[in-house]
Amino acid sequence: MAGHGALRRPPAASSAPHQGFTSRALLLLLTVLPLALASFAFVLQWRGGVDDLTSRWPAADAQRFPVMDSNNNSHLGSSASDCADILGRSSSPSFPYYRGWNFNLGKDRKPKICITTSTSAGLEQIIPWLFYHKVLGVSQFFLFVEGKAAKPHLSAVLEAIPGVKLMYRTRELEEKQAKSRIWNETWLAAFFYKPCNYELFVKQSLNMEMAIVMAQNAGMDWIIHLDTDELLHPAGAQEYSLTSLLSDVPADVDMVVFPNYESTIERDDIKDPFSEVSMFKKNYDHLPKETYFGLYKEASHGNPNYFLTYGNGKSAARIQNHLRPNGAHRWHNYMKAPHEIKFEEAAVLHYTYTKFSDLTSRRDRCGCKPTKEDVKRCFMLDFDRAAFIIASTATEEEMLHW
């Protein structure tokens, strides 16, 4: 009985208020702390203290766009030997271009380099292209966008990236370009008022002209015109750096040429060319001429599809007065003959016809008839003409075989 009485004895009166206070304090802490932290985070983000670009994406795109999970963040702290992993080895893109990225990369680098392009590509192509060149030291991008690239939910992502300036193909832009002195120049006259590739070439030249002024206003030192299926390869620099490469160019040189290396078709199931394609045809500027042309027939086995879409490379121009475009591959000057040199090691990697869909995409963008005569109005290259006809008339199996 004594034992039962001891069990039923109430606790000391002095301990009851103490325990009640402790419980209430703990409950209050667990309630207030998360609310305080959430409020603090909200205030920081509202004031600009937290700036996660992925939070700006529309919810509809979150699942479709690569690298939206945090598992890829481990790449950001990896060593230089993991560069291949950063660019992605698998068929699914895995370039970690957002979370944890240093968006001020190259902010204070010299010389200041900008790239201009005209594109209708999607984010899956433009974003890796942008950040690859950011790593090389490019600080400013002037993107003339139309088609897919100009859609609001895609362009909003591009505009949120520091150093990226978008120009849309509006009526105002076209009216401004209609007054360009380029229309009175003979060097581009052969391309005027023609469809498809010819029209694109003229657009690129007009856009390059505007980009020169934008580059001058932004205080740039060099300007490069590059398509979004091209990557610069700054071989010959002490480090893998475009700024290092161009900083060593003598002061009297106005322009430097990157000879082009054309990709070769490796497989018919390529999804992400920048990370999957590794085979390129070396430009003849980087080979002994006797060897290249002496063995060309043997190497191509008479196959006209073993080709270079272009052989003259792409060039970088030093920003200066009276600079003008000279087509999509070169720059010139209205007042003098510019001093131009070629890099002996650096190149531009051109990922051309790397995906099977590249064969049909040109067909879908051009309204020409698939005849040998009509395609001459649309395409400059015999290969592009043949590809358009095949894509317009053949079955998928025949296109794969071709």
The pLDDT of residue 20: 59
Q: What is the pLDDT of residue 238?
A: 82
pLDDT number for residue 60: 38
**Chain position carrying tokens 């939070």:** 55
Q: Which spans in 160-192 are helix H?
A: 171-177
In the predicted structure, residue 379 carries a pLDDT above the cut 70: yes
Position 276 pLDDT exceeds 90: yes
Give residue 4's pLDDT band: very low, low, confident or very high (50, 70, 90): very low
pLDDT at 308 over 80: no
- pLDDT tens across 86-120, in order? 333 333 343 444 444 554 554 577 899 999 999 99
Domains and CATH numbers, the chain: 113-354 (3.90.550), 358-401 (no CATH)
- DSSP-derived secondary structure for 232-246: EE-TTSSSS-HHHHH
Query: Is the pLDDT higher at 288 or at 41?
Result: 288
Least confidently predicted of 11-15, 151-155, 182-186, 187-191: 11-15
The amino acid sitting at 85 is D
Q: For residue 43, report the phi and psi dihedrals to the nearest 5 degrees.
A: -65, -40
Report residue 373 as tokens: 């005569």
Structure tokens at 267: 């497989």
Task: Read off the pLDDT of each residue in 293-306 and give the average, rounded to a whole number.
Answer: 76
223 and 114 Cβ atoms separated by less than 8 Å: yes
The confidence score (pLDDT) of residue 309 equals: 80
Kindly report the average pLDDT of the chain as a whole number. 80
Going 221 to 149 to 182 to 313, the CA torsion angle's sign is positive
Residue 228 pLDDT grade (very low, low, confident, very high; cuts 50, 70, 90) = very high
**What pLDDT shows up at residue 361?**
82
User: Predicted confidence band at 137 (pLDDT cuts at 50, 70, 90)?
Assistant: very high
Nearest to 123 by CA among 84, 177, 160, 73: 160
Residues linked to residue 140 through DSSP beta bridges, in sequence order: 114
Which of the residue ranges 304-308, 347-351, 365-369 has the most confident prediction, judged by mean pLDDT?
A: 347-351
Rounded to 5°, the CA angle 329-122-222 comes to 35
Identity of the residue numbered 179: K
Of residues 280, 249, 250, the one with CA closest to residue 262: 280
Question: Given a cut of 80, is residue 53 above it in pLDDT?
Answer: no
CB atoms near residue 60 (< 10 Å): 8
Query: Per mean pLDDT, which range of 82-96, 167-181, 331-345 is the poorest?
Result: 82-96
| Alpha-carbon span 325 to 225, nearest angstrom | 9
Token pair of 29, please? 């802490």
Give the whole-angstrom CA distance, residue 134 versus residue 232.
Answer: 11
d(CA 3, CA 187): 110
Structure tokens at 349: 């990697």
pLDDT in tens, 201-217: 999 999 999 999 999 99
Residue whose tokens read 């080895």 = 89
Q: Which residue, 352, 84, 357, is CA-closest to 230?
A: 352
In the block, which residue shows the tokens 């051009």? Answer: 366
Residue identified by tokens 């792409």 is 314
- Smallest CA-to-CA distance from 231 within 155, 105, 117, 336 is with 117
Average pLDDT (265-284) is 91
| Structure confidence at residue 38 as a pLDDT band (50, 70, 90) | low
Q: Please report which confidence band the pLDDT of residue 226 belongs to, taking 50, 70 and 90 as the band edges.
A: very high
Which segments of 9-122 does DSSP mark as H helices, in order? 15-47, 59-62, 83-87
More confident site: 279 or 3: 279
Q: Omega into 195 within 30° of 0, i.e. cis?
A: no
In the predicted model, is pLDDT for residue 399 greater than 50?
yes
**pLDDT band, residue 67 (cuts 50/70/90):** very low
According to DSSP, the residues that pair with 33 across neighbouring strands are none
Strand 230-233 and strand 347-350: the pairing is: antiparallel
Phi and psi of 398, rounded to 5°?
-65, -35
Type and span of the H or E element at 294:
helix 289-300
Give the number of C-alpha atoms closer than 13 A to the C-alpha of residue 339, restricted to the C-beta side: 7
Q: Confidence class of residue 28 from pLDDT cuts 50, 70 and 90?
A: low
Report percent pLDDT > 70 for the chain: 72
Q: What is the DSSP letter of 46?
A: H
Contact 388, 360 (CB under 8 A): no
Mean pLDDT along residues 259-280:
92
Residue 395 has pLDDT above 80, yes or no: yes
| Least confident stretch, 5-14, 200-209, 349-358 | 5-14
Torsion of CA 260, 211, 326, 176, to 10 degrees: 140
- Is the pLDDT higher at 298 or at 213? 213
E strands present in 157-211 = 164-168
Mean pLDDT along residues 389-401: 93
CA 67 to each of CA 160, 180, 249, 358: distance values in angstroms, whole numbers, following the listed order: 17, 42, 37, 24
Q: Is the pLDDT of residue 82 over 60?
A: no
User: Where does the pLDDT of residue 311 fall: very low under 50, low under 70, confident under 90, or very high at 90 and above?
Assistant: confident
pLDDT at res. 52: 39
